[in-house]
Amino acid sequence: MKPHLPDFEVFVATILADIEHVAALLSDVNGETWSESPAVMFTVFNNGQRELGVWSLTLQLTTVCDPADSHRVCSGLYELVHSWATPGRGVVGTVGVHSVEDVNVFNRVHDVTLVQGKERVQYAAAFNLLVQDWGG
C-alpha cells in the first residue's frame, strides 16, 4: 500500500447521511427552511497518520435547533457517531472508523437566539476518530 491522503470531508459527509432522522446537514438546508428543522454543521481536522493507513481525526459537530428539541437532536447525533465504531458501520469504500472517543459532548454554545423569528439554540461537540484506510 502506497501512502496517500484520503478525502475525509467526503468520508464524514457520507457517513453523516444517516442523520436525516435527527437533523439535516447544513449543506442540505437553505435560508428559508433553516429555522424549520434542526441543522447540523461539521468540521473535520486531520491530525495526521499514526502509521501507514491509520489516521487520527477530530470531528466537530454543531447543531442549531429548537430548545425543546435539543436533547433529542444531541442524543441522536451522539448515538450515531458512536455507532460508527461498530463493525460494518462507519465504512465508506476502503475507509472505516475503528474507534470513537469523546472530546466534549454537546455543550451549549450560547443562549437562545431568534432565527427568522423562531427560538433556536446552538450546541457543539467534538470526537476523536481513529480511521483505518485499507485501500490506497
Domains with residue ranges and CATH for the chain: 8-133 (3.30.70)
Percent with pLDDT over 90 in the chain: 51
Alpha helices in the chain (DSSP H): 8-15, 70-83
Q: Say whether 35 sits in a helix, a strand or coil.
A: coil
Q: What is the mean pLDDT of residues 36-45?
A: 86
Record the cell numbers describing residue 18, joined without a space: 444517516
Q: What is the mean pLDDT of residues 115-128?
A: 90
Q: Specify whether the CB–CB gap between 89 and 104 falls below 8 A.
A: no
> Tens digits of per-residue pLDDT, 1-17?
566 788 999 999 999 88
The 10 Å Cβ neighbour count of residue 30 is 8
pLDDT at 29: 52
Whether residue 70 has pLDDT greater than 80 = yes
pLDDT band at 31 (very low <50, low <70, confident <90, very high): low
pLDDT at 33: 56
Question: Residue 97: which of 87, 106, 107, 105 has the closest Cα?
Answer: 87
Whether residue 69 has pLDDT greater than 80 = yes
